[in-house]
Amino acid sequence: MTYITKPKLHHPGLATNKLGFTHRDYEGRISTLCAGCGHDSISAAVIQACFELDIEPHRVAKLSGIGCSSKTPDYFLGQSHGFNAVHGRMPSVLTGANLANRELIYLGVSGDGDSASIGFGQFVHCLRRGVNMVYICENNGVYGLTKGQFSATADKGSKAKSGAINADSPIDLVSLAIMLGATFVARGFSGDRKQLVPLIKAAITHQGSAVLDIISPCVTFNNHAGSTKSFDFVRAHNEAVNRLDYVPAEKEITVDYKEGSTEIVRQHDGSVLKLAKLRSDYDPSSRVAALAHLQDRQEAGEIATGLLFLDPKPEDLHGHLNTIDAPLNRLGQDELCPGADALEAVNAEYR
């Protein structure tokens, strides 16, 4: 953390986006996390992604639970809506908000404690329902706020700063997400901005449940030799399956790509995901293949990153429930309270 606020002055040649904003306009308050925290890098990547996507800040709702990671929505998109939920209960609040107003972009921000321990049940059920959101898990494998105990995502054999070796099996959030029906599943690393920003952009434009597991080293409690979530370890064992390039809808793709080396996926909004294959055998459209590959890399002691699974034609909760398009706050008295006759008709359907 710092004692002074970030000066408002900015580089005189700073780029602006279509809305006339610079990336500085997407910042939030100054971070109070430890200096060098991976989470701050993720905040910066979210800022960069929203700036590049020309997102109007008031179209975004940031929701989080409790923990270091869940503090971060305060540090980006200071002009957006925010909700800090009870520990582990962000997914249900997000689901409710999404049901009430489907027009906003929902950004759920959580950590490995919030998602894989206290909020584990919320996490899995939210994914089962296919809520249209970006669920970011800032995963550092450690409980930083309580001074460095292993979290549920800590690798077996990983060493704590205190010297203890983790004997428990880890929860792999991406494998779970693929199994539970998320339609966009990716893993990134806070120390690789080039990979991370396109993943966040693609996740935001994906019209379904998008899960981003982002390895984020805890500089204070989990960045030592023997840790499997340190900068050095992740850099040495990072195996990207592909390199994603997000191309907005209005940009035509003119360059030809070699058959087999690059996959072009057109999204619902017209934007295009260009996937350069770094591993020729990797197929992100198959849940079975993705899961098998993740198991395989895990066995080899490596961390598979990149866009791991993508269903380009996602379904979402509103589709399943056949809800009205308009946000509830824009409905009038007559639509919200259609009267006794309407209720009678509904009840009759179930008789």
Partner 1 sequence: MSSVSAKGRKPSPGPARRVGMAPTDTANPNYFHKVVDCQWACPAHTPVPEYIRLIAAGRYSDAYMINWQSNVFPGVLGRTCDRPCEPACRRGRVEKEPVAICRLKRVAADSKDDISDRLPKPAMVKNGKRVALIGAGPASLTVARDLLPFGYSCVIYDCDPFAGGMMRTQIPKFRLPERVLDEECGYILGLEPETRFGHKVESLKAILAEGYDAVFVGCGAPRGRDLDIPGRKEAAEHIHIGIDWLASVSFGHTTSIGKRVIVLGGGNTAMDCCRTSRRLGGERVDVVVRSGFAEMKASPWEKDDAMGEGIPIHNFLVPKEITHVEGRLTGVIFEKVKAEYDDKGRRKLVPSGDPPVHMPCDDVLVAVGQENAFPWIERDSGVEFDERNMPKVDPVTMQSTHPKVFFGGDAAFGPKNIIWAVAHGHEAALSIDLLCHGGDVAVRPSPLVNVLSQKMGIHEWSYDNDVSLDLRFKVPHAPKELTLKDVNMEVELGFNRELAFKEAQRCLNCDIETVFEKNLCIECDACVDICPMDCITFTPNAPEPVLRTMLTAPATNPAQDLYVSADLKTGNIMVKDEDVCLHCGLCAERCPTGAWDMQKFYLETAKAHACSR
Residues near partner 1 (CB under 8 A) are 1-14, 24, 34-38, 40-41, 43-44, 155-159, 169-170, 190-191, 193, 217, 219-220, 223, 226, 228, 231-232, 235-237, 298-303
What b/e readout covers 264-298, taking b as 16+ CB neighbours within 10 angstroms?
Answer: ebebeeebbbbbebeeeebebeebeebbebbeebe
Closer to partner 1 by CB, 85 or 185: give it.
185
Both tokens assigned to 99: 């049901």
The minimum distance between CB 16 and partner 1, in angstroms, equals 12
Q: What is the DSSP letter of 181?
A: T
The minimum distance between CB 8 and partner 1, in angstroms, equals 6
The minimum distance between CB 234 and partner 1, in angstroms, equals 11
Closer to partner 1 by CB, 172 or 263: give it.
172
Q: What is the DSSP letter of 252?
A: P
Closer to partner 1 by CB, 10 or 251: give it.
10
The minimum distance between CB 190 and partner 1, in angstroms, equals 8
Closer to partner 1 by CB, 236 or 264: give it.
236
Neighbours of 331 (CB within 10 A): 12
Q: What is the DSSP letter of 101?
A: -
- Say if CB 191 and CB 173 are below 8 A apart: no
d(CA 74, CA 68): 11
Secondary structure element (H or E) that encloses residue 236, with its range: helix 231-237
The minimum distance between CB 9 and partner 1, in angstroms, equals 6
- SS3 of 274-340: EEEECCCCCCCCCHHHHHHHHHHHHHCCCEEEEEEEECCCCCCHHHHHCCCCCCHHHCCHHHHCCCH
Closer to partner 1 by CB, 165 or 249: give it.
165
Both tokens assigned to 237: 């064992």
Closer to partner 1 by CB, 133 or 177: give it.
177
- Per DSSP, the chain holds a count of helices (H) and strands (E) of 12, 13
The minimum distance between CB 280 and partner 1, in angstroms, equals 20
Closer to partner 1 by CB, 41 or 117: give it.
41
The minimum distance between CB 62 and partner 1, in angstroms, equals 18
